[in-house]
Amino acid sequence: MSNSLLWYTTRGAGAVSMILLSTVVILGILSTQRLQSPGWPRFLTTGLHRNLALMTLVFLVLHIVTAVVDPFTNLGWAAALIPFSSYYRTLWLGLGVISFELLLAIVFTSLLRGYLGHRVWRAIHWLTYAAWPVGVLHGLGTGTDTWAAWMLAITGACVAGVGIAIVMRLTSGATDPLAPSRTAFRSAVDRREAR
């Protein structure tokens, strides 16, 4: 791969990762709202949430691998694995590493949810509220395209979408009268599946 192709791939995959991650966060929040209609059953929201989360990881791996092997940045693998160890844009790349590692923890604990139980899984899943803004900050801080009109539009749409979903969650989440019973039921199912 030529150097400029690697560089464009890093940038493109970074932007696609941010769009996917924001969509995953929005769908995750919407799934807690139990929204559905005859044309959009609830399992579509949860199914999309899961599959897009896995696709986000695929694009992030592409983003990271092309950034590391690009001779222009000459990052080295340690910079992609150990937060704030990069000589290049130490702070911004460190935030990217933290975001990626949090996302790995969130996805893997979701795949192992049956063994971990609902409480542990949920506590770790809440880290999404840290992983998403840290990833967005990383992109804003280090992106070549940050101030390009198209990238500003993408970042603005992602921030607005997630912001609106969080406001919806905060203003309607506490009103679910069945939430405690659902949590107890899920914990019982998780314990049973883990046996």
- Residue 148 burial (CB < 10 Å; 0-12/13-18/19+)? exposed
Cβ-proximal residue to ligand HEM, closest one: 143
Smallest distance, Å, CB 61 to ligand HEM?
A: 9
**For 41, which DSSP code?**
-
Q: Closest Cα partner for 17 from 51, 48, 60?
A: 60
Smallest distance, Å, CB 59 to ligand HEM?
A: 9
Out of 6, 11, 52, 53, the residue judged to bind ligand HEM by CB under 6 A: 11
- Determine if 99 is a binding residue for ligand HEM (CB under 6 A): yes
Question: Contact letters (x/-) for ligand HEM, 126-165, by CB under 6 A?
Answer: ---------x--xx--xxxxx----x--------------
Q: Which is nearer to ligand HEM, 17 or 128 (CB)?
A: 17
- Residue 106 burial (CB < 10 Å; 0-12/13-18/19+)? buried
End-to-end CA distance of the chain: 48
Out of 6, 24, 26, 60, the residue judged to bind ligand HEM by CB under 6 A: 60
Q: What distance in Å separates the CA atoms of residue 169 and residue 158, rounded to the nearest whole number? A: 16
88 DSSP β-pair partners: none
Instruction: Report the interface residues with ligand HEM, using CB under 6 A.
Output: 10-11, 14-15, 17-18, 21, 60, 63-64, 67, 73, 80, 93, 96-97, 99-100, 135, 138-139, 142-146, 151
